[in-house]
Amino acid sequence: MAQQPSQVFASFSPQTDEVKQATGGASKAQKLLREIQVSSTGEAARAPDRATVRVVVTSTKEAIADAKASTTRRLDYIIQTLHSHNVKEGDVTISKFIQRVDSLYCMEAEVTVVFVDFTKCQSVCNFLTEKLDESVRLHPPHFYHSVHSLEAVRRQACLSAVQNARQKALEVARLLRQALGRPLTIREEETSECEGSSRDSSNGHEGPITFQQRIANATFTVTTKVFTQFELVSREKGKQLKS
C-alpha cells in the first residue's frame, strides 16, 4: 500500500552545561547531542471475521394452533439444516412473537446465526433460499469484526508505522555515515479508521450487492502516524553496541 512521505529531522545540538560537567574533558565531537527524528505512517487492513444471518418465519392463521404448527414446522427444518452444517448451538438464537391482526393470529419466529466460517455461511444461505418458500425471509449476511480482530489490526498499524520510521531513520543514518542507536522517543500522534473504501462502496451500483462485496465493504482499515526519535552514534560505537 502507498505510504505518506515520512518527515525526517536530524539534530546535532551542543549539550547542556549539566551534560558537559558530567562528561568532564570529553572531546568536541562527544559533546554533541546527536539524534534523528522521524515521523512516519503505517497502514493495516483486515477483513471481517464474523457474519450474522437473520432468518424470519411468519405464519398468519385463523386459529393460533395452526399458526404455531406452521411456524414450528419451518423452524424445525431451519434448525435441522444448521445442525447438518455443524453450526454450534451457542451460535444460534431463537425468538418468537405472536400478535393479533384483525381476526387472525400472526406468529413470527426469528433465528439469528453467527458464523466465523464464511464458506459455511454462504452454503447455509444458499440451501435455505432454495428449499424454503416465501413465508421465510432470509436477510443478507451482516459482516463485522470481533473486539479481538479490531485490537489486532490497530496494533498491526502502529507496529507498521514504527517499523517504517525506523527503516527511514536507518537509511538517513547510513547516508550520514552514522549508526542508528537506541530509540529515545516513540509517540503515536494520529490514527484514522474506516470501513471499506470508495472502490468497495455500493453507491451507484445497480442490483444486489454480492457476497464478496459485502465482505469488502466491511473490511476495516487503520492508518497510524507515529513520531520517533533515535540516538545517532558513530559507526565505531554502533559496532560496539551490536557486539
Question: What is the rounded distance in angstroms from the CA atom of residue 125 to the CA atom of residue 155?
Answer: 34
Write down the pLDDT at residue 134: 87
Residue where a domain terminates, one of 94, 119, 144: 144
Residue 5 pLDDT greater than 60, yes or no: no
151 and 140 in a single domain? The answer is: no
CATH number at residue 14: 3.30.110.170
Residues 56 and 140 in one domain: yes
Over residues 11-39, the pLDDT tens digits come to: 544 444 444 444 444 444 444 558 999 99
Q: Are residues 153 and 236 in the same domain?
A: yes
Looking at residue 75, the DSSP 8-state letter turns out to be H
Phi/psi for 220 (5° steps) reads: -105, 125
Domain presence at residue 181: yes
Q: Which domain covers residue 165, as residue numbers?
A: 7-45+147-242
What pLDDT is recorded for position 33?
59
Examine the domain organization and report whether 151 and 41 are in the same domain. Answer: yes
Q: Which of 31-45, 87-101, 130-144 has the lowest mean pLDDT?
A: 31-45
How many domains, in total, are found in the chain? 2
Same domain? 106 vs 162: no
Mean pLDDT of the chain: 85
Does residue 81 fall inside a structural domain?
yes
pLDDT tens digits along 110-125: 999 999 999 999 999 9
Q: Does a structural domain hold residue 2?
A: no
Tell me if 27 is assigned to some domain: yes
Dist. CA 108–CA 88, nearest whole Å: 23
Mean pLDDT over 130-147 rounds to: 93
Which residues touch 130 (CB under 8 Å, ≥6 apart)? none
Contacts 24+ apart (CB under 8 A), 16-20: none
Asked if residues 238 and 181 have their Cβ atoms less than 8 Å apart, the reply is yes
Domain boundary, last residue among 124, 144, 164: 144
pTM for the predicted model, two decimal places: 0.75
The answer to whether the CB of 180 falls within 8 A of the CB of 232 is yes
Within-domain flag for 111: yes
Instruction: Indicate if 25 and 59 belong to the same structural domain.
Output: no
Name the domain boundary from 126, 144, 162.
144
User: Looking at the structure, do residues 169 and 207 belong to the same domain, yes or no?
Assistant: yes
Same-domain check for residues 181 and 160 = yes
Asked if 157 and 216 sit in the same domain, the reply is yes
**Residue 88 predicted with pLDDT over 60:** yes
The enclosing domain of 85 has a CATH number of 3.30.70.120
Q: Would residue 1 count as lying in a domain?
A: no
Give the dihedral sign, CA 119/121/124/127.
negative
